[in-house]
A and B are shown apart, each in its own frame.
Chain A
Amino acid sequence: MDALRLYLRLVGVSMQARLQYRADFIMGMLNVIALNAVNLGIIGILVYRFVDLNGWIVWELFFLYCLWLLGHCLYSLFFWHFWEMEEYLIQGTFDQFLLRPASPFIQFLGREVQYIGFADMLVAITGLILAYVNLDLHWSAAQWLFFPIIVISGTVIETALTLMTACIAFWTGRSDMAINMIMEFNMLVQHYPIDIFGVWFRVIVTGIIPVAFMNYYPSLMLLGKLDSNSPSAWLGYISPIVALILSVIASGVWHLALRRYSSSGG
């Protein structure tokens, strides 16, 4: 509980620091919205010209995109700065987290908050509502209950994967390109249903970098595309379990990395 209080206090301070730059805030929001609009536009044009993409119509693809984005926006709000961990390690400023009598992880987390996540959230929620209406979906109570769990699972999956990857910097000093790599797989999974890709790609995003559990598999279930006779139907339901397993592994990697840490002497 103390950890949570400390975290909230740190995040509050970071937020105030961020809001000092009002113009930057507005520009950031506008640009993120523009970026998403362009991405959706590209998907929209493709489907407008070809009617569907392997059986996915335009609103289903938007749903896929926005479901990923909703999980991602919580990650980008609170955990985006994993990406900058290497800077702390290279410059030796990571030492400060180890000297204070509080969990280094909580201190690092509270260091930054990325308001651009709000813009992603805005786009995601708008997109999901429009998709829900246009697809004329009628979710059962169970599906409604499952929906927030999927979103949180998505956040946890992305966060755990990025944390693990960021920890590479403890060994090699650099991790940004490895994180970009995870992001690249994320991008493809966000934009396109993975059933259009070849087998090895599907194996990777299911079993090795399991980002397909952020949107693709749960979408099958939420959009009623799940064939209950198919032997792999259970994949639609296990996102929370994947999230749980990944966070256990990530926590292990983090502790291993901390033990391995030797200051660069900043």
Chain B
Amino acid sequence: MKIFWSFARQAFQYISVYRFNFFMEFILTLVRMYGIYWVWRILYTQRPGAFGVSMEQMVTYGVMGMVLELFIWSRPQWYMANQVKSGAIDTDLMKPLDFHVHMLARSTGESLIGIGVLAIPALIIAYLFLDVQFPPDMWTALMFVVSIVLGFLVFFHLNFLLGSLAVVALDIRHISWAYFSLVRFLGGQIVPLWLFPPVVAAIAEVLPFKGTYYIPISIYIGRLAGVEAIRALEFQLVWLIVLVLVSRMLWDWAHRRLVVQGG
């Protein structure tokens, strides 16, 4: 736990140096929240209660999608790609700390700061000005928190896998564009899975991406409740275990192939 806090402290120092950037990041999120708020308002004014959810639920879904981005704000793949490119990765590998755990600690630290500095203020604004609802009851709120933690871990491992690729491919800049838009889409950040055309929905249902946005937010708004919610949490957990195993294997493989440039 001490390692996590020390990385959180580091992230906080980083933020205080680039204060303006973080302020802008915050404003960006507000703009995104505002945008999606109106999209759903208009669509649900046209067809109230469409697809079994109310306008309030759908607006909450949309805005939470933007807020959640700040919860899972950490991007270990950039760090890994930079370290590989500059050759500084050898100092990371010499540390008496497993690299995978090191990255997880760093990401967790960064995310804790992201939640405190960006996500919580954004949430307050969402509650005050964008008609975002609270979860229906305490039990739902609790499941939501569990689901977010699982979602963060799933997302971290997807990112870590991409970062491991950087060791082999060196440049992941272009892949990451497609990767991010794919996570957003299949993760249901903007459009929930129940609106997808059947074929696309069937694919998105089995992939791990829906564990990042769709499951936590659907639980939050009460769309996934009771047994369904528990099933969804299990889904996240199973994928998490798979991703951890794959990450360990891929990293070991990449590590062996690692060529340090300069260093």
Contact = CB atoms under 8 A, between A and B. Distances in A.
A32 B31 contact: no
B197 A192 contact: no
Interface string B185-202: 100001100011100100
A181 B29 CA distance: 10
B39 A178 contact: no
A49 B191 CA distance: 11
B24 A38 contact: no
Interface in A140-187: 172, 174, 176-178, 180-181, 184-185
Contacts of B178: 30-31, 34-35, 38
Contacts of B125: none
Contacts of B182: 34, 38
B92 interface: no
Contacts of B257: none
Bin the interface of chain A by size: 35 or more
Contacts, number: 91
Contacts of B231: none
Given A38-B182, A53-B43, A27 B175 contact: yes
A261 interface: no
Interface stretch (A2-10, A39-47, A62-70, A211-219): A39-47
Interface in B109-124: none
A130 to B, nearest CB: 19
Q: Majority SS of interface residues in chain A? A: helix
Q: Majority SS of interface residues in chain B? A: helix
Contacts of B24: 177-178, 180-181
- Among A39, A45, A116, A185, which residue has the most Cβ atoms of chain B within 10 A? A45
A197 B37 CA distance: 9
B51 A53 contact: no
Interface string B10-48: 000000001011001101100110110011001100110
Contacts of B200: 45
Contact of A27 (B20, B174, B181): B174
A52 B46 contact: yes
A177 to B, nearest CB: 4
B181 A24 contact: no
A74 B34 CA distance: 29
Contact of A46 (B20, B25, B38, B191): B191
